[in-house]
Chains A and B, each alone.
Chain A
Amino acid sequence: MIDMLPGIDCTTSALTAERIRLDVISQNIANANTTRNIDGKPYQRQQVTFETALRRQETGDGGGALTHTVKVAHVENDQRPPVLVYNPAHPDADHAGMVAMPAINLSEEMADLIVASRVFEANLAVVKNSRSMTIQTLSIGKRS
């Protein structure tokens, strides 16, 4: 398959990675008050780490040496301890009336959410521009 759109591999991988990140952030926000996970413990905040993968390294024909795609390396549990909140009426309260709540800071999640969507938008702008470049290339030799 010919590479019609320049750099589309990198951009696609970034869009996928950022979407996974958005999924994880929304999961964290949704579970901000989950005191009972599958293992019976409070929900642990999840975190995404990115890493690069070298796409092509050949130098012949001046072709795309050194471009890097991006991928999600891990979705890891954040190791912060749960926050103890006094609420004796809660079904998951211990004998002292303390409930272990997930250590999720909503402001932090919202900031991450905005960054992830900005990066997503930047990559969409690349797709748009690459597309217009390809259209220009295809119209070489036509009278305008």
Chain B
Amino acid sequence: MIDALFNEPNYLAAKKLMDATALRQEAIASNLANLETPHYQRVDVAPSFTTELSQALATQSPFQIGSVQARLEVDTTAVAQNKDGNTVDLETELMEENKNVLAHALEAQLITGSLLRLRLAITGRSA
């Protein structure tokens, strides 16, 4: 019953995005940890995630959105800069990390916003 309050498609999508950003942070941590490991291949959230999520969002069905799952996979597009076969680039990775932190802040605010609106609707008070 109460679940229906939290089934708004945008809210669910923001939750999914937040899961993906947390997962992405793990991937970046792994990439930066292995900056000096020979033959390490960088990992990232599978690029199919965003397309799957936008398709699910187009259907507006809470079940469809709930079934989208972010996964990590080896980034095959990255090329090794050195002879050691490591595909991690320090600068790019740090930039990606900063972008990820900002994206996470945005998603946290979106979720907070929908929760506060919900509270406003229930109590009739904004404070």
Contacts and interface: CB of A to CB of B under 8 A. Distances in A.
Contact of B98 (A52, A70, A122, A129): A129
A65 B40 CA distance: 15
Contact of B36 (A7, A115, A137, A144): A115
Interface string A125-144: 11001101100110111111
B108 A136 contact: yes
A62 B108 contact: no
B29 A52 contact: no
B101 interface: yes
Interface in B50-93: 69-74, 90, 93
Contacts of A13: 33
Q: Which of B98, B104, B116 has the most CB of A within 10 A?
A: B104
B35 to A, nearest CB: 5
Contacts, number: 126
Contact of B30 (A51, A67, A118, A122): A67
B34 A136 contact: no
A118 B21 CA distance: 25
B108 A137 contact: yes
Given A62-B19, A62-B23, A52 B34 contact: yes
Interface residues of A, number: 42
A118 B94 CA distance: 12
A125 B26 contact: no
A10 B33 contact: yes
Given A125-B94, A137-B108, A142-B112, A68 B30 contact: yes
24 contacts: A6-B26, A7-B28, A50-B34, A51-B37, A62-B69, A66-B30, A66-B73, A68-B33, A68-B37, A70-B37, A115-B36, A119-B36, A122-B32, A122-B90, A122-B94, A126-B29, A129-B98, A129-B101, A133-B21, A136-B108, A139-B112, A140-B112, A141-B111, A141-B115
Interface of A: 6-8, 10-11, 13-14, 18, 50-52, 55, 59, 61-70, 115, 118-119, 122-123, 125-126, 129-130, 132-133, 136-137, 139-144
Q: 7 smallest A-B Cβ distances: which pairs? A: A7-B29, A14-B33, A6-B25, A67-B30, A7-B26, A10-B33, A62-B69
Interface of B: 18-19, 21-23, 25-30, 32-38, 40, 43, 69-74, 90, 93-94, 97-98, 100-101, 104-105, 108, 111-112, 115-116
